[in-house]
């Protein structure tokens, strides 16, 4: 049998790592989720892309198919319990078993706390906390629990955010992400041996940056000056953290949070040294990564 050509995604993990495994990636139609889906597929996993816009999911599925991978598309508003339950049922039926869930879907809008309405607060919390809980619960109850009892425990990775010093102008998102971290810790106990971990990206150069108001452009361009490692992160660096936590190398890691933030939360007031005298070299293995327009010169 001929050896398949190398996948264009320049992953640091061994080929075929996830052959025969299945994974759900929510928010898989763009940004970090798209990158994670590509890397999982590059490593041999069958990937179910979940999101609200079918055209975006189908575009990513075509990209993955074009490199020899397998991806299916499933429209779902993860805030709606019945839709989540039906979507996970369909994926479990198609794949036979759900090995991995990457709870990546989320979103927020910039606003000071005093101007956030109850409706706006609820929308962000449901998107970043309730939806992740519903997806995880259904994957566990419909597939992962039985698989674990049969000796094949799966793994869940929840994507949260750098919220350790609060999230001024995005307090609704910060509260929801902090809740997701606590949910991660609780689920790692109640659902063991299914492993449940979190990845907390800091300031990542992703397409999501282009969704913020134009008046934030200067702020976004100046963020790298506040990062001890001297630059913004890449989608590939977040994806690599996710893959590690799903991999056998993390078999004894559960209930943990892996920060991917360039040490920003460590730049406290007690340290008055200049933030950066240089920068680290970025890892950017995603062959289809697009630099955010707002960061282009």
pLDDT tens by residue, 26-47: 999 999 999 999 999 999 999 9
For residues 196 and 290, which has the higher predicted lDDT (pLDDT)?
A: 196
Q: Tell me: pLDDT of 125 over 80.
A: yes
**In the predicted model, what is the mean pLDDT of the chain?**
92
Q: Tell me: pLDDT of 250 over 80.
A: yes
pLDDT band of 236, cuts 50, 70, 90 = very high
- Integer Cα distance of 137 and 109 in angstroms: 26
Residue 44 Cα distances to 79, 121, 173, 195, 208, angstroms? 30, 39, 33, 20, 27
- Integer Cα distance of 60 and 37 in angstroms: 8
Q: Virtual CA dihedral for 200, 184, 245, 260, nearest 10 degrees? A: 10
- What's the average model confidence in pLDDT over 9-25? 96
pLDDT band of 270, cuts 50, 70, 90 = low
Q: Radius of gyration over alpha carbons of the chain, in Å? A: 19
Cβ(150)–Cβ(97) under 8 Å?
Answer: no
Q: Tell me: pLDDT of 292 over 60.
A: yes
- Integer Cα distance of 155 and 197 in angstroms: 8
Using DSSP, state whether 103 is helix, strand or coil: strand
Q: Residues 6 or more apart from 140 whose CB is under 8 A from it?
A: 156, 187, 191, 194
Using DSSP, state whether 68 is helix, strand or coil: coil
Instruction: Sketch out the chain's domains with CATH numbers.
Output: 22-295 (3.40.50.720)
Residue 81, CA atoms < 13 Å, CB-side half-sphere:
2
pLDDT band of 165, cuts 50, 70, 90 = confident
Q: Virtual CA dihedral for 222, 226, 228, 229, nearest 10 degrees? A: -20
- What's the average model confidence in pLDDT over 104-131? 94
Instruction: Specify which residues 66 forms β-bridges with.
Output: none
- Strand 257-260's sheet: what is its strand order? 70-75, 46-51, 22-26, 100-103, 155-159, 195-201, 257-260
Kindly give the interhelix angle for 118-125 and 171-190, rounded to the nearest 10 degrees: 40
Of the candidates 221, 230, 217, 218, the one whose C-alpha atom is nearest the C-alpha of residue 263 is 230
- pTM, entire model: 0.92
Give percent of the chain with pLDDT exceeding 90: 75
User: What are the start-end ranges of the E strands in the chain?
Assistant: 22-26, 46-51, 70-75, 100-103, 155-159, 195-201, 257-260
- What's the average model confidence in pLDDT over 277-292? 84
pLDDT of residue 1: 45
pLDDT of residue 4: 55
CA 162-213-198 angle, to 5 degrees, is 20
């Amino acid at each position: 049998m001929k050896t398949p050509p190398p996948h264009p995604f320049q992953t640091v993990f061994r080929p075929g790592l996830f052959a025969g495994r299945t994974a759900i990636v929510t928010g898989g139609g763009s940004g970090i989720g798209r990158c994670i889906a590509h890397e999982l597929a590059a490593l041999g996993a069958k990937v179910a892309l979940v999101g609200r816009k079918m055209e975006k999911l189908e575009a990513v599925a075509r990209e993955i198919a074009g490199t020899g991978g397998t991806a299916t598309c499933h429209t779902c508003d993860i805030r709606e319990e019945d839709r989540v339950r039906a979507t996970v049922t369909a994926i479990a039926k198609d794949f036979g078993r759900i090995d991995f869930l990457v709870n990546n879907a989320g979103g927020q809008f910039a606003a000071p706390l005093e101007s956030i309405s109850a409706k706006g607060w609820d929308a962000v919390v449901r998107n970043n906390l309730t939806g992740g809980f519903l997806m995880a619960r259904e994957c566990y109850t419909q597939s992962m629990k039985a698989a674990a009892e049969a000796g094949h425990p799966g793994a869940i990775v929840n994507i949260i955010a750098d919220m350790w010093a609060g999230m001024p102008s995005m307090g609704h998102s910060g509260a929801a992400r902090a809740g997701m971290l606590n949910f991660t810790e609780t689920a790692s106990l109640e659902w063991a041996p299914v492993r449940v971990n979190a990845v907390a990206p800091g300031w990542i150069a992703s397409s999501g940056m282009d969704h913020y108001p134009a008046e934030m452009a200067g702020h976004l361009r100046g963020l790298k000056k506040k990062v001890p490692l001297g630059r913004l992160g890449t989608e590939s660096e977040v994806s690599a953290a996710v893959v590690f936590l799903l991999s056998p190398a993390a078999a004894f890691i559960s209930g943990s949070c892996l920060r991917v933030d360039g040490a920003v939360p460590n730049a406290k007031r007690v340290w008055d040294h200049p933030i950066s005298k240089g920068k680290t070299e970025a890892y950017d293995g995603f062959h289809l990564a697009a630099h955010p327009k707002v960061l282009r010169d």
